[in-house]
Amino acid sequence: MKALRADLLDFTAPPAWGSTSLDGVRWRPDHWLLVGDDGRIVGAQPAAQPLPGDWERHDHRGRLLLPGFIDTHVHSPQLEVMASYGTELLDWLERFTFPAERAYADPAVAEAGAARFLDALLAHGTTAASVFPTVHKASAEALFAAAAQRGMRLIAGKVLMDRHAPEGLRDDVAQAERDCIDLIQRWHGRGRNSYSVTVRFAPTSTPAQLAMAGALCRADASLYMQTHVAENRAEVAWVAQLFPEARSYLDVYARAGLLHPRAVLAHGIWLDADDRAALRASGAQIAFCPSSNLFLGSGLFDWQAMTEAGAAVSVASDVGGGTSLSMQRTLADGYKVQAMAGRRLTAWQALHAATRGAAQALHLDHEIGSLEPGTTADLCLWDWSVGPVDAHRQAAARELHERVFAWMTLADERHLAATFVAGRQIHARAAAHGSSGP
């Protein structure tokens, strides 16, 4: 049994848009978090109270302990294409992304890439993710195996692409279906792995492949579905040409039976009120990818409109369109995207969307996303500040939201002291940095 002493922060309810009050925020400074031998959270208590029983004590007073971050949309083979200069979405795919992904046909490359990617997530404080590997079955196999080895919560699936992709990155409907069924039987629900029917995006799947993907989802309601939607204006226009019968880009997926409560659709920038209503009715979520949207010049997502329509929103790095696996950097970019439209994203709403909010949207809040007793102890331990400028800003904070917002905006992986998966420390910073508190 393990006891971790730190400042505990998580959420009990969704914070209201624009509110900096503590409604829904659970703040427990200088507490012990108690973790049982089974890797689940037992409870918490003030550090001033004596610990009952025989606990292995780890004193991190002055540091911040959060649930592990949940990245709801990220591409495991795209680390090497981050920060690729000068293109928008469709050109970026052709010039950089597809060539990088073609290499994952080699199982050895896929295995090394999966290990590198998952270790990088952990080194940024992310303990669960919904991940796109490549079209190759071996890439999904490697990713599931590497996640199982680390005990991580992973949602993934072989990417489906049977047209408008280069040689070496196309499958066909029959073989793709066989690969998906085999992967589902081998990995879905095994340990902490879940299978997601993974449609790259509508242009790279024929109507027949989209229908096959929808049939897989209907056959097993516990399967996830992940894809992209309405990211870029040129992409939206292309979809309209390819699917003239559909009312909108989102409607392409709805017609194929892919819009359901376990569907994760990345971006959703160029959606209208009818689309937002369809998302609410289906229970599907939008994974907001601000860093990627800014870097590729895709547009500014209207988070408030989506929330007011009753549709779920989580936050995602979308590496390699995104430029960092750091969820803090992603959230800071999310604030800037909303500010461009005159909206103000609070630290509470941002952090909730990357923890408990994401877990709820994925139907995993019984397991991850909070510090509730009974949930799995997927945790990240942070320094409040690193270096004198950061420490000075923390010392000047007048109240809790200001302090946490400054931390969220200025922090990154340098602030991460340790990452825990199911109570086991799986990543530790090699050397101490600066100050742990203001």
* Section 405-424 average pLDDT: 97
Could you give the CA distance from residue 249 to residue 365 in angstroms, rounded to a whole number?
Answer: 30
Q: Report the alpha-carbon angle 219-225-229, nearest 5.
A: 135
The Cβ-side half-sphere exposure at 430, using a 13 Å CA radius, reads: 1
Residue 327 confidence (pLDDT) above 80 = yes
Residue 434 confidence (pLDDT) above 70 = no
Report the pLDDT value the prediction gives residue 341, as an integer from 0 to 100.
86
Residues of the chain with pLDDT > 90, as a percent, come to 89
Report the pLDDT value the prediction gives residue 94, as an integer from 0 to 100.
78
- Among residues 78, 96, 79, the alpha carbon closest in space to that of 87 is found at 96
Report the pLDDT value the prediction gives residue 438, as an integer from 0 to 100.
41
Architecture of domain 2-67+371-428: Roll (2.30)
Report the pLDDT value the prediction gives residue 53, as an integer from 0 to 100.
80
Say if CB 288 and CB 301 are below 8 A apart: yes
Report the pLDDT value the prediction gives residue 52, as an integer from 0 to 100.
81
- Alpha helix stretches (DSSP H) within 41-172: 89-92, 98-102, 107-122, 137-150
Residue 93 confidence (pLDDT) above 90 = no
Report the pLDDT value the prediction gives residue 426, as an integer from 0 to 100.
97
Report the pLDDT value the prediction gives residue 431, as an integer from 0 to 100.
64
* Section 37-51 average pLDDT: 96
- The pLDDT tens digits of the residues spanning 286-325 come to 999 999 999 999 999 999 999 999 999 999 999 988 999 9
- The pLDDT tens digits of the residues spanning 353-381 come to 999 999 999 999 999 999 999 999 999 99
- The pLDDT tens digits of the residues spanning 248-258 come to 999 999 999 99
Give yes or no on whether 2-67+371-428 and 69-325 have one common fold: no
Residues of the chain with pLDDT > 70, as a percent, come to 98
Architecture of domain 69-325: Alpha-Beta Barrel (3.20)
Binning pLDDT at 50, 70 and 90, where does residue 437 land? very low
What letter represents residue 141's amino acid? E
Residue 91 confidence (pLDDT) above 90 = no
Could you give the CA distance from residue 244 to residue 247 in angstroms, rounded to a whole number?
Answer: 8
Could you give the CA distance from residue 405 to residue 102 in angstroms, rounded to a whole number?
Answer: 40
- The pLDDT tens digits of the residues spanning 15-40 come to 999 999 999 999 999 999 999 999 99
At residue 380, φ and ψ (nearest 5 deg) are: -135, 135
- The pLDDT tens digits of the residues spanning 156-174 come to 999 999 999 988 899 999 9
What letter represents residue 364's amino acid? L
30: left (phi over 0), alpha (psi -120 to 50) or beta: left
Domain boundaries, the chain: 2-67+371-428, 69-325
Higher pLDDT, 428 or 93: 428
Residue 436 confidence (pLDDT) above 50 = no
